[in-house]
A = this chain, B = another copy of it.
Amino acid sequence: MSERRVLIVGGGFAGLNVAKALSNRAGVSVTLIDRQNHHLFQPLLYQVAMAALSPADIAAPIRSILSRSRNVRVLQAEARSVDLKSRAVLTDAGTFGYDALVLACGATHAYFGHEEWEPHAPGLKSLPQATEIRRRVLSAFETAERIQDAGEQERWLTFAIIGGGPTGVELAGAIAEMGRHTLARDFRNVDPRRTRVLLLEAGPRILPAFQEKQAQRATRDLQGMGVQVRVDARVTKVSADGVDIGAEHVRAATVLWAAGVRAAPIARSLGVELDNAGRVLVEADLSVPGYPQVFVAGDLARALDIETGKPLPGVATVAQQQGKYVGKLLRDDPSVRQPFRYKNEGQLATIGRSHAIAELKHFNFAGRPAWWLWLLVHIYGLTGFRNRLTVLVQWAWSYFTFGRGARLIVPPEWREYPAPETPSERTTR
């Protein structure tokens, strides 16, 4: 009997856990493709954008994570579409056949039909986006220092963050801290403590996934740090000058987008039912209806919580648990499949230095204890010993000095050079 070919598309939390569950399993040959060479620890991506960590601190090469899984092959390639009928995935490096397929390509940010806003309000989903946001935020202070016009200085010191979910809250808190502490003494012409941060949420309150009381606490913490939290503030226009909230225009040189996500476009090629956000409506076992050997996991899947009947949130723990679940299904190939059951350990959101909120199964808390818990959980979650240790060192340094270790403005000046041509000649094997 020949080996069973499992194809995994995406090396995020979901895909990586599928591969790990199948590691060195006899009779199974696994191919994992990802357009990046690295797995990214998404929950800390905002720290790269906020100059606290370096890209390499939160990323590790997928092939090095799986180097001891001798039956797993990792290829850097971009999946373009899936042909369910002929059991093949088309990529920029050729076509890959499969016996079982796991799609775990994640999501990107969405502008709800206003794609023209993207150049003015970058979102935060990838490392290049994170370093671009870092460049913009740090450059805004540099520009304010360089110019003399008071009105323009104010515009360069105004930061608008659109979207009051965990990412928006993290970004708003971090920029406020930067102005108040990190940069406070480094400028001569402007005072970074004049930094104005607006957190704009279209809904009636920030952090809608959390309980009302916790969201109120987060709002108070943000306000204490100088952030203007505005709810029911629906943004109607984003331009180079700033944002419009209905009839009101706010001048802000830096606008960041943390308002919405959309599943990777490859889902559309399946030809099956998707939800509003482009996610695949999966069965209880995370398979695609009618295709028991095709699974969708992570942010690309719209799976329902088996207990509450509500859609599962797009967070790392859901993706991890789904990956493990699918990996076990493929490994054991049971005749009767138990449905996927999300084990909710609670949720955390960090606001800034010593401020966070935590909702665990049986009790909630906030402030410094929640912040320490957040630190612990994220250090523990980081892949690889070295990243964990360097991140600890950097956090300890930041905590005691209020400094940020990665205050680099790196221009994307390599534009002028063409990327070396990378041939693609693989076909279905």
- Which residues of the partner chain B approach A139 to less than 8 Å between Cβ atoms? 37, 76, 420, 422
Question: Cβ of A407 and Cβ of B61 under 8 Å apart?
Answer: yes
A417-B120 Cα distance, complex, nearest whole Å = 9
- Which residues of the partner chain B approach A57 to less than 8 Å between Cβ atoms? 54
Q: Which of B38, B188, B424 makes the CB contact (< 8 A) with A409?
A: B38
User: Given A37-B409, A394-B386, A417-B118 in contact, is the A152-B56 Cβ separation under 8 Å?
Assistant: no
Across the interface, name the chain B residue whose C-beta is closest to A409.
Answer: B37
Kindly identify, within residues 363 to 393 of chain A, every residue whose CB is under 8 Å from any CB belonging to chain B: 385-387, 389-390, 393
- Which residues of the partner chain B approach A122 to less than 8 Å between Cβ atoms? 417
Kindly identify, within residues 52 to 97 of chain A, every residue whose CB is under 8 Å from any CB belonging to chain B: 54-57, 59-61, 63-64, 67-68, 73-77, 93
A240-B76 Cα distance, complex, nearest whole Å = 21
Protomer copies: 2
Question: Cβ of B426 and Cβ of A185 under 8 Å apart?
Answer: no
Question: Cβ of B56 and Cβ of A405 under 8 Å apart?
Answer: yes
Across the interface, name the chain B residue whose C-beta is closest to A37.
Answer: B409
Judge if A253 is at the interface, Cβ distance under 8 Å. Answer: yes
* From A57, A132, A406, A420, residue with most partner B Cβ within 10 Å: A420
Which of the segments A142-150, A275-283, A325-333 contacts the partner chain?
A142-150
In the complex, how many angstroms separate the beta carbon of A128 from the nearest chain B beta carbon?
Answer: 5
Judge if A421 is at the interface, Cβ distance under 8 Å. Answer: yes
In the complex, how many angstroms separate the beta carbon of A109 from the nearest chain B beta carbon?
Answer: 13
A132-B420 Cα distance, complex, nearest whole Å = 11
User: Given A185-B67, A389-B393, A393-B386 in contact, is the A415-B415 Cβ separation under 8 Å?
Assistant: yes
A73-B411 Cα distance, complex, nearest whole Å = 22
Question: Cβ of B423 and Cβ of A143 under 8 Å apart?
Answer: yes
Q: Which of B75, B149, B401, B425 makes the CB contact (< 8 A) with A425?
A: B149
- Which residues of the partner chain B approach A187 to less than 8 Å between Cβ atoms? 63
Question: Cβ of B136 and Cβ of A426 under 8 Å apart?
Answer: no
Judge if A403 is at the interface, Cβ distance under 8 Å. Answer: yes
Question: Cβ of A37 and Cβ of B138 under 8 Å apart?
Answer: yes
Across the interface, name the chain B residue whose C-beta is closest to A92.
Answer: B146
Question: Cβ of B411 and Cβ of A128 under 8 Å apart?
Answer: yes
Question: Cβ of A420 and Cβ of B253 under 8 Å apart?
Answer: yes
In the complex, how many angstroms separate the beta carbon of A384 from the nearest chain B beta carbon?
Answer: 8
Q: Which of B142, B143, B408 makes the CB contact (< 8 A) with A56?
A: B408
Question: Cβ of B64 and Cβ of A409 under 8 Å apart?
Answer: no
B-facing mask of A110-139, CB < 8 A → 1, else 0?
000000001100100011110110001011
In the complex, how many angstroms separate the beta carbon of A382 from the nearest chain B beta carbon?
Answer: 12
In the complex, how many angstroms separate the beta carbon of A193 from the nearest chain B beta carbon?
Answer: 14
- Which residues of the partner chain B approach A420 to less than 8 Å between Cβ atoms? 136, 139-140, 240, 253-254
User: Given A240-B421, A426-B148 in contact, is the A385-B408 Cβ separation under 8 Å?
Assistant: no
Judge if A397 is at the interface, Cβ distance under 8 Å. Answer: yes
Judge if A36 is at the interface, Cβ distance under 8 Å. Answer: yes
User: Given A185-B67, A240-B420 in contact, is the A410-B143 Cβ separation under 8 Å?
Assistant: no
Q: Which of B64, B77, B147 makes the CB contact (< 8 A) with A426?
A: B147
Across the interface, name the chain B residue whose C-beta is closest to A127.
Answer: B410
Question: Cβ of A147 and Cβ of B253 under 8 Å apart?
Answer: no
- Which residues of the partner chain B approach A408 to less than 8 Å between Cβ atoms? 37-38, 55-56, 59, 61, 127
Judge if A413 is at the interface, Cβ distance under 8 Å. Answer: yes
In the complex, how many angstroms separate the beta carbon of A54 from the nearest chain B beta carbon?
Answer: 4
In the complex, how many angstroms separate the beta carbon of A51 from the nearest chain B beta carbon?
Answer: 8
- Which residues of the partner chain B approach A254 to less than 8 Å between Cβ atoms? 420
Question: Cβ of A64 and Cβ of B423 under 8 Å apart?
Answer: no
A17-B145 Cα distance, complex, nearest whole Å = 23
Judge if A412 is at the interface, Cβ distance under 8 Å. Answer: yes
Kindly identify, within residues 163 to 221 of chain A, every residue whose CB is under 8 Å from any CB belonging to chain B: 185-189
Q: Which residues of A contact B (CB under 8 A)?
A: 36-38, 54-57, 59-61, 63-64, 67-68, 73-77, 93, 118-119, 122, 126-129, 131-132, 136, 138-140, 142-143, 145-149, 152, 185-189, 240, 253-254, 385-387, 389-390, 393-394, 397, 401, 403, 405-426
- The 6 lowest CB-CB distance pairs between A and B, nearest first, are A54-B54, A56-B406, A386-B397, A76-B142, A63-B186, A61-B407
